[in-house]
Amino acid sequence: MKQSEAATENVTLELNRVVESVDVRDKPSPVATQGSDSTTIVSSRQFATLPVRDQKYNDVLHLVPGVIKTTDGKLNMKGEAENQGMLVVDSAQTVDPVTGRFSVPIPVDAIQPMNVYKVSYSAEYGDFSGGLTVIETKPPSDRWQYGVMDFLSGLRGKNDHLVGISHLTPRLAFGGPILKNKLNFSEDFTYDMRKHPVRGLAWPHDERKWQGFDTLKPCCPLGIFCR
């Protein structure tokens, strides 16, 4: 075709057909009726293996699905604040009566199982509308046992030199029969020491030291099951 000539082409556009259909059946399709379990159990073995910064039960709680830890250290269970929940240790309510927080320290080596109920359906305890955390401590053994955990300390460096210890959290657990077949005893002890740097002060006065300990001493006489 030459440059001066014109060409005409017929172009046809067609719309695709859209068809909707409704099927009416006399029997509905089956619906899954499997219920979701709102209870999570944390065993004593998991306390020793879970990746947590501090070996404390409230640090393990926020690893449970549905439980989060806010930036100010408070727990939140299924949208409910920590002061709306309940902490029960060996059938005793142990929340702070003023703030409602889980402030009672318990050594993790003394915990047998920890049950976390994210739905407040149990009317056995009452006085709460959020989640329920139930902790059972280990009964004393009838044989002598001992264990030392986390005895290695964290080191602090400054200008490519070691200048001391930043944190130290050793744990000690031991126990056994005092009177065979009559009285058993156990001790769970946790020491916690931490040093936090304070910006703006000259070394070695640029740190704040915090230390404390948690301990639990259950006894079990013959014929009485106790924790």
Is 130 in the same domain as 93? yes
Do both 131 and 201 map to the same domain? Answer: no
**Which CATH number does the domain housing residue 108 bear?**
2.170.130.10
Same domain, 52 and 130: yes
Looking at the fold, whether 217 and 169 belong to one and the same domain comes out as yes
Residue 210 lies in a domain: yes
- What pLDDT is stored for residue 218 in this prediction? 67
Does residue 123 fall inside a structural domain? yes
Residue 29 lies in a domain: no
- Report if residue 92 sits inside a domain: yes
- Residue 14's pLDDT band (boundaries 50, 70, 90)? confident
Alpha-carbon distances of 46 from 108, 111, 136, 141, rounded to whole Å: 10, 11, 15, 20
pLDDT at residue 225, rounded to an integer? 40
Among 94, 187, 93, 183, smallest CA distance to 138 is for: 187
Query: Within a 13 Å sphere around the CA of 95, how many CA atoms are in the beta-carbon half?
Result: 21
Residue 42: pLDDT over 50: yes
Among 137, 158, 173, which residue terminates a domain?
Answer: 137
Please indicate, yes or no, whether residues 118 and 154 belong to a single structural domain of this protein.
no
CB-based contact 88:133 (threshold 8 Å): yes
In which band, very low, low, confident or very high, does the pLDDT at 227 lie, cut at 50, 70 and 90? very low
What are the residues facing 157 on neighbouring strands? 162
Residues 92 and 178 in one domain: no
* Residue 60 is assigned to a structural domain of this protein: yes
| Domain encompassing residue 53 | 39-137
E strands, the chain, are: 39-43, 67-69, 75-77, 80-81, 86-89, 92-93, 111-117, 132-137, 145-149, 154-158, 161-168, 171-179, 183-197, 207-216, 219-221
Domain boundary among 94, 114, 137: 137
For β-strands 183-197 and 171-179, DSSP reports them as: antiparallel
| 8 assigned to some structural domain | no
Identify whether residues 85 and 168 lie together within a single domain: no
pTM of the model: 0.62
The domain boundary, picked from 137, 171, 186, lies at 137
Number of domains in the chain: 2
pLDDT at 123 (0 to 100) = 62
For range 85-97, the mean pLDDT: 80
Q: Does 127 share its domain with 177?
A: no
> H helices of 114-181, where?
none
Residue 21 lies in a domain: no
Residues 176 and 127 in one domain: no
Task: Give a yes or no: residue 51 inside a domain.
Answer: yes
Strand 67-69 to strand 80-81: parallel, antiparallel, or no bridges (unpaired)?
Answer: unpaired
Is 213 in the same domain as 152?
yes
42 with 113: CB under 8 angstroms?
yes
H or E element, residue 48: helix 44-49
Confidence of residue 32 (pLDDT cuts 50, 70, 90): very low
Q: Whole-number mean pLDDT of the chain? A: 76
- My answer on whether 127 and 150 are in the same domain is no
Q: Are residues 152 and 110 in the same domain?
A: no
Q: What is the pLDDT of residues 52-84, one digit of tens each?
A: 777 777 778 777 877 888 777 778 877 777 778
Residues 191-207 have pLDDT tens digits of 888 888 888 887 777 78
